[in-house]
Structure 1
Amino acid sequence: MKSVKLMALGALFFATSAHASEAFFGYSYVADTHAKGTWEYEQHNTLRSGKGEGEYNALDVKFELETGITDKLQMALYLNTSYNNVSGNPEIADINEFDVNGLSVEFLYNVLSPYKDSFGLSFYVEPEVEVRKSSSGQPVNKKAIDAKVILQKNFLENSLVTVLNLKLEPEWKRDGTERESSLEAGITAGVTYRVQPKTYVGLEIVNDFEYEDMNFAKQEFYAWSAGPTVHYAADNFWWTLTALPQISAWPKTDADLNLDEKEKFQVRFKFGIPLAE
Structure 2
Amino acid sequence: MKRLVGPICAAAVMLTACQARAGESPFGWIYTADVHPQGTFEYEHKSFMQSGQSQGQYFFMQNKEEIEYGLTNQLQISGYFNWSYANAFRNGFDGTTGGPGVTQFLDASFDPYSRYEKTRFDSVSFEAIYQVLNPVTDPIGLALYIEPEIGPREKELATGSTIPNIPHSLPDPSSTTRRRNSGGRWPGVTNCRWSSPTTRIRRQW
The TM-score, its normalising length taken from structure 1, stands at 0.52
2:66 to 54, 57, 64: 64
Q: Deviations over 1:82-109 (max 9, x none)?
A: 1123442567246222222121111111
For residue 189 of structure 2, what is the aligned residue in structure 1?
161
Task: Choose 1 or 2 for highest CA Rg.
Answer: 2
Match of 2:202 in 1: 171
CA distance in 2, matches of 1:90, 1:23: 35
Asked if 1:123 corresponds to 2:124, the answer is no
Q: Give 1:128-143 correspondences, 5 Å limit.
A: 128-131=149-152, 140=153, 142-143=154-155
Superposed CA deviations along residues 161-203 of structure 1, whole A, max 9, x for unmatched, are 33352322211123xxxxxxxxxxxxxxxxxxxxxxxxxxxxx
SS in 1 for 2:11: helix
Alignment counterpart, residue 83 of structure 2, candidates 72, 81, 84: 81
Question: CA offsets per residue over residues 27-62 of structure 1, 9 Å max, x none?
Answer: 221011000000101111112468899765421111
More helix by share: 2
Matched residues in 2 for 1:50 and 1:58: separation? Answer: 9
- Give the Å deviation of 1:148: 2.5
- Which amino acid counterpart does residue 29 of structure 1 have in structure 2? Y
* Structure 1 residue 75: Cα displacement: 0.7
> Which residue is equivalent to 1:269?
none
RMSD over equivalenced CA pairs, Å: 2.8
1:12 aligns to 2:13 (yes or no): yes
Match of 2:24 in 1: 21
Cα distance change on mapping 1:80 and 1:22 into 2, 3 Å: same
3-state SS of 1:160 partner: coil
What is the CA–CA distance in structure 2 between the aligned matches of 1:167 and 1:54, rounded to whole Å?
Answer: 38
Report the structure, 1 or 2, having the larger strand content.
1
Paired letter, 1:74 = Q
* Cα pair distance change 1:5/1:52, threshold 3 Å: closer
Is 2:42 aligned against 1:40?
A: yes
Structure 2 residue ranges without an equivalent (≥5): 107-114, 172-185
Normalised by the length of structure 2, the TM-score is 0.68
Contact in 2 for aligned 1:112/1:119 (Cα 8 Å): yes
Structure 2 counterpart of 1:84, which letter? A
In structure 2, do the counterparts of structure 1 residues 100 and 18 end up closer, same or farther at CA, with 3 Å as the change threshold? farther
Out of 142, 151, 162, the residue aligned to residue 163 of structure 2 is: 151
Asked if residue 111 in structure 1 is aligned to residue 132 in structure 2, the reply is yes
Q: Conserved in 2, the CA contact under 8 Å of 1:114 and 1:154?
A: no
Aligned length: 164
